[in-house]
Amino acid sequence: MEKFVIEGGRPLSGTVPIVGAKNAALPILAATVLAQGPILIDNMPHLLDIQVMLDILRSLGVQASHTGTKALIDASNMHTAEITEERMKKMRSSIFLMGPLLARFGEATVYQPGGCAIGERRIDLHLNGLRAMGAVVSESGNKIECRAHKLRGAQINLDFPSVGATENLMMAAVTADGITTITNAAREPEITDLQIFLNRMGAKIMGAGTQTLTIEGVKRLQPCEHRIIPDRIVAGTLMIAAAATRGHITLEGVVPGNLTSLVYVLRRAGVQIGIERDIINIVAYNRPRAVERIVTSPYPSFPTDLQAQLMVLLSLADGGSIIKETVFEERFKHVRELSLMGADIRVDHNCAKIRGVPRLYGATVEATDLRAGAALVIAGLAAVGRTIVQQIHHIDRGYESIETLFTRLGGHMERTISIKQDRLASSM
């Protein structure tokens, strides 16, 4: 097992470009099975989740390569619409393939997906939407079988604006007979990127970024080229890291409009933020101020994927703050780890009450999920002394060589082989 060893206390400084968004790339990779012929996707990040998705595609008979920032996908010779349970368990986003496989083959066999343990993430919305389009869905244990000779347009109202369900149903509907309308749809920027990609393939989709999507089914889709949007969560993580270490960094190649809620919160915390076109400049030389109350909620509200990182900053703030988590019920597992570093946080149901402390101290901690892991890295960079972060495979799912990224900004961080005794020694 690998670990990160971080020597904290150094302000981050420098300029970095932002890589392509994992949460945009994964559904777009799934959508490539809808067309036959070579599809070129640029700005593809090198992440564990991307590797898993490419491996799943190859197991279905898809030719898939990933060199540099470019991925070349050709689904012409796909030979199966069944994904093994072993592969499904490796990644939550494997469920994205259910809609496209059903649209192309008239059938799909998948299993309940795996992923980070951050709370219940049922796929009822996915299945109910497919049923509304005429699919027959049968479930036996973890196995899910979907069949439909031809999907048909339908009126679908989502009980919750689920990103995954919105994307899955979009992909299923693009070649259905008639018009599909999805109301209470997710509005995330990644939805818009998927719409752009599908429309380049010949789909007819309108409404991404709003609560209502309209998809007019077409007979077939064609190969195309596409560039993935920059990762707003990676950008947000770096912005918070700059503030927590009292540094000064510049991010290039971002979409500032996708980070409005974070910019608002950071400015309330006293962080100076300058924005010009696709560049964000972050300056934070002073101790941050507390922010009375932040509530995570679907886009465009404050993202749950930045909640853990922000908690680190507020742990160092002057005063008391409250974060209310409304998306995932088990997304406070990082609180225990931050407490080992000296943070003063109390959890009451879905609210974390944070009392800022002057400084955090290095400790041996464990990444319990992707974003919690990123938060612990930020805490280590800001802390006094040495921090060891274990279970870093979670972090590799969503951050491309995060140790290289922070070292480039002046942080002292390296990846080494983990020894089980680390955590035991830290607790003695």
Catalytic residues: 116
Q: How far is 392 from 226, CA to CA, in rounded Å? A: 31
Q: Which pair of structure tokens corresponds to residue 50?
A: 């991307």
Place of tokens 């270490």: 245
First-to-last CA distance in the chain? 22
Q: How far is 295 from 100, CA to CA, in rounded Å? A: 34
Q: How far is 345 from 353, CA to CA, in rounded Å? A: 6
Q: How far is 97 from 272, CA to CA, in rounded Å? A: 42
Residue type, 362: G
Half-sphere exposure of 135 (CA within 13 A, CB side): 31
